[in-house]
Structure 1
Amino acid sequence: MHFTHKTFTLWLSLAANMALAQTLPLPQPAPGLMPQPAQGQRLFAQHCAACHGLDLKGSDRGPPLLHPVYEPSHHSDAAFQAAVRYGSRAHHWKFGDMPPVSGLSADDVVHITAYVRQQQRKVGIR
């Protein structure tokens, strides 16, 4: 198999990112926290809608969260925690990398995730 320098660099970068991702601690919400989708909706509107759209259908700045690629079996609730805390590399869409979102606690992300999951279920994403 013939690898170019560019291909080798890409694979090396991917492997390093995967190793690093497994060592980063995930934010932990408060024990016994009851997710509140209504609170999540307010937080989503304030911190997420500019990119993901107020209707969760995306915008010219970010992908739709009402899409099967974000179903819980592919992007777990923990993935939302990681993306908010550390940002996320572009891997499904061509919007560029998602930067970390400041000003949100792990509890806030639980509420936002509950809202997103509620809206996903309404359109048949399970």
Structure 2
Amino acid sequence: MTIPILLTACDVPGPEARRQALHLPPPGFKGIVEKGIEPFEKYCMVCHGVKGRGTDQGPPLIDRVYRPDHHADLSFHIAVRDGVKSHHWRHGDMQPIPLITPEETEHIVAYIREEQRRVGIE
């Protein structure tokens, strides 16, 4: 007995739609450390402190918890897009920051990673 199978096309988002949904910059875009300083100071420093050292409002990003093998660069994009529930620290939840573009986020990540390397976090 043969059972017929009906296949239907699904609306699968293309690569560009997936990239945008993940809040990622265009393929091949590279964050530049120097271009990350200004948006970090504008959007992030109030909670994460000068050079990402933390405050009483937000955790330090220059900490082993945020090393690349524990928090990949994508996690920063998702945090900007969706916010973050407090899980490593007791500073409260981070709200989404819709004003930061994917390109600015990538520059901020480059800046944070450089600051981490300066203190031996790889």
TM superposition score category, shorter chain reference: 0.7 to 0.9
Equivalent residue letter for 1:31: P
Contact 2:51 2:115 in 1 (8 A): no
Q: 1:114 matched to which residue of 2? A: 110
**Helix, strand or coil at the partner of 2:26:** coil
Partner of 2:85: 89
Alignment TM-score, normalising by the size of structure 1: 0.78
Give the superposition deviation at 1:26.
1.3
Distance between the aligned counterparts of 1:105 and 1:93, measured in 2?
26
What is residue 43 of structure 1 aligned with on the other side? 39
Contact 2:64 2:121 (8 Å CA) reproduced: yes
Q: Give the counterpart letter for 1:27 in structure 2.
A: H
Please say if 1:56 is aligned against 2:52. yes
Instruction: Tell me what 1:73 maps to.
Output: 69
| Counterpart Cα distance in 2 of 1:112 and 1:28 | 13
Deviation at 1:102, TM superposition (A): 2.3
SS at the partner of 2:70?
coil
Higher-Rg structure is 2
Q: Is the CA contact (8 Å cut-off) linking 2:23 and 2:78 kept in structure 1?
A: yes
Q: Which amino acid aligns with 1:91?
A: H
Structure 1: give runs of 5+ residues left out of the alignment: 1-24
Q: Distance in 2 between matches of 1:81 and 1:92?
A: 18
Q: Which residue of 2 aligns with 1:16?
A: none
Cα RMSD (Å)? 0.9
* TM-score of the pair, normalised by structure 2: 0.81
Structure 2 counterpart of 1:118, one-letter code: E
Offset of residue 32 of structure 1: 2.2
Structure 2: 5+ residue stretches without partners: 1-20
